[in-house]
Amino acid sequence: MNKRLVIALTLLLLLTASAFAQDNPALTIHVVQRGENLFRIALQYGVTTQDLAQLNGIANVNSIQVGQRLLVPVQPGVSVQTHTVQPGETLQSISGLYGVSIAELAALNDMADPNSLHIGQVLNIVPGVPAPVEVSQPPPAADVPEPALLSAAIDVPASSQQPITVIHTVLSGETLFRIAMAYGTTVNAVAQANSLTDSELIYAGQTLIIPDIVPPQLAIDLPAPVTGLEVMPLVLLEGQTGRFRVMTGTAASVSGTFLNSPLNFASEADGTRSTALVGVPVGTAAGVYPLSLTVADASGAQIPVSANIQVVAGGYLLETDILLIEDRTNLLDPAVEDAEMNALRQVMSRFNPERYFVGAMGLPAAATITSSFGNSRSYNGGAVQRIHTGTDFGGVPGTPIFAPAPGRVVVADTLNVRGMATVIDHGWGVYSGYWHQTERYVQLGEMVSAGQTIGTMGATGRVSGPHLHWEMWVNGVAVDPMQWAIFSFS
C-alpha cells in the first residue's frame, strides 16, 4: 500500500487537526490515559464536559475507556498543539522539529523521566514557530487503501509533505461535520469529493474520500542501516496482535524481545525487511513496555534499536454460569485441560518463516457470533477461572467451517476438551484452531486454501451446545481472532 496513505490514516486518528490548515476549526485528539475521566480532560483543555461528550457522541460521561481517542476543540488563541510519537522518534528529535527544548517538552508533559517516552504517546507542544503547511501540489488520484488504521509507515522522507487523499470508513454515530472536523477539512470539501447531494445522508460502513490531507512532519532518528521502524497498531491492546517491522538499507537479520518473550522475525525483500508478529497475552497489565531489537548487518555489526511500546487494557467481559452438556463436566478437570493444552501449545508455538496468509483473513463461518474472545468465564455455577481464548459462532451441527486463509493442517485430531479439532499453520507464527466439529474434511499435512470447507460445526468436547470455537495464536499466544478479519498483518 501507498506509504503516504498509511501515514495519513495514522494521522486522522492521532494528530491535531490544527496542524493541517489554519482556516479550519482547531481540534486536537486526546488519548485517554489510565486514571483520567472526562471531567479532568475537559479541565485540562479548558472546555466543558458537555462539549466533549457532544463532539465525541458520548452518551454516558462516566463511561470512557483507557486508549479511547477523543476529539477536543482547542480554544481560539490558545496555541495547544499535540504530536503523536512515531516509531524512531526521540524527545530530542521532536524537540528539534518544533523548536521546543527537551526540558520544556518534559515539563509540559509531566515527564519525570524523559526516557519514558513511548510510541503513540500524545505530547503537548507549544511550538516556537508553527510548522508551515504548504498545499501547493495537486493531490494524487484517489485509491482505496486496505484498512490499516493506527499503523505508521515512517520510511518516507519527512520532506515529502504533499497533500494526499485518504479513505474514511464511516463509524456508527458519526456525522459528516464530525468527520470533516477530525480531518481538518470542511463538510463542503468532503461532500463535493464524494458527490454527496445531502450531507445528512451518510451511513455506518460507507467509505468516504477525504481530499487534500497533509501528512505530519516526523522526526525520525534511527541508526544506520535501519531506515524505518513500523509499529502496528501504534498502541497495542491486551489480547490482540501487533506487528513490528524493521526496514534496512542493506540485508540484515533482526532479533529481539518484547514482553519478556523472544520475537521471531521473518525476512523479506532480500533481507531488507524483517517482520515479527506479537500476541499480547490477556492479563498483560496496561503500561509501557520496552521493545529491544538487535539488527545484525552483513559486516557482523550488532546495532541495538529500542523503543517504548504502550499496552492498553482490552476491556474484556465477564461471562458467568455457562451450562455444560451434562456428561461433559469431567472435562473441567485441570489435569485433562493441562495435558491437552501443553500438547497444542507445542504445535502452535512453532515459528514457520514462510508466510501463507495475505491481507486480512475471512471469517470461518457464515454464522452469528455467540461469544467473544477474552471473556472471563465460569461454568456450571463454579468460580471464574478461565479466559475464553477464541470467538464462538453458533450454528446447527453440519454448518460448514471455512479456512479463513491459506495454510497447512498441522493438527487433525479428536481431543477431550476441544472435541474434533483442526489446526492450520498460516506461517510467521500464526495458527488458527477449529474446535467442537462434527465432521472434518482435511488431513494432517494437507495445504488448504482460503474459503475451503474444512469441516462442519458440532458439539464435541466441552460445550454447552453446538458451535464453532475459532482460535488464533500468534508467536505462542492466544489472541483475538476477529482482529485478523479486519486488519492485514502481512
Which residues of this protein are in contact with Zn ion, per CB under 5 A? 390, 392, 469
Which residues are within 8 A (CB) of 43 and not within 5 positions of it... i.e. 6 or more apart?
A: none
Beta carbon of residue 470, minimum distance to Zn ion (angstroms, whole number): 8
Beta carbon of residue 375, minimum distance to Zn ion (angstroms, whole number): 9
Beta carbon of residue 34, minimum distance to Zn ion (angstroms, whole number): 30
Q: Which three cell numbers stand for residue 123?
A: 505530547
Comparison of 4 and 469: residue with beta carbon closer to Zn ion: 469
Beta carbon of residue 465, minimum distance to Zn ion (angstroms, whole number): 11
Bridge-based pairing of strands 386-387 and 376-379 is: antiparallel
Comparison of 182 and 454: residue with beta carbon closer to Zn ion: 454
User: 464 vs 12, 113, 167, 333, CA distance in Å?
Assistant: 43, 51, 42, 16
Comparison of 174 and 392: residue with beta carbon closer to Zn ion: 392
Q: Which residue is nearest to Zn ion (CB)?
A: 469
Comparison of 211 and 419: residue with beta carbon closer to Zn ion: 419
Residue 286 burial (CB < 10 Å; 0-12/13-18/19+)? middle
Beta carbon of residue 77, minimum distance to Zn ion (angstroms, whole number): 55
The residue type of 296 is A
Comparison of 319 and 413: residue with beta carbon closer to Zn ion: 319
Edge-to-edge order in the sheet of strand 273-279: 226-232, 241-248, 273-279, 266-268
Beta carbon of residue 363, minimum distance to Zn ion (angstroms, whole number): 15
Beta carbon of residue 238, minimum distance to Zn ion (angstroms, whole number): 18
Beta carbon of residue 386, minimum distance to Zn ion (angstroms, whole number): 10
Contact 438, 456 (CB under 8 A): yes
Which residue in 40, 41, 53, 47 sits closest to 73, CA to CA?
47
Contact 256, 326 (CB under 8 A): no
Beta carbon of residue 323, minimum distance to Zn ion (angstroms, whole number): 14
Comparison of 147 and 465: residue with beta carbon closer to Zn ion: 465
Comparison of 118 and 440: residue with beta carbon closer to Zn ion: 440
The residue type of 81 is Q
Beta carbon of residue 468, minimum distance to Zn ion (angstroms, whole number): 8
Comparison of 362 and 394: residue with beta carbon closer to Zn ion: 394
Comparison of 89 and 392: residue with beta carbon closer to Zn ion: 392
Chain-centroid distance of CA 468 in Å reads: 25
Give backbone dihedrals phi and psi of 73, rounded to 5 degrees, phi first.
-70, 140
Comparison of 390 and 461: residue with beta carbon closer to Zn ion: 390
Beta carbon of residue 370, minimum distance to Zn ion (angstroms, whole number): 8
Comparison of 222 and 361: residue with beta carbon closer to Zn ion: 361
Comparison of 273 and 467: residue with beta carbon closer to Zn ion: 467
Beta carbon of residue 434, minimum distance to Zn ion (angstroms, whole number): 11
User: 355 vs 148, 230, 490, CA distance in Å?
Assistant: 19, 19, 8
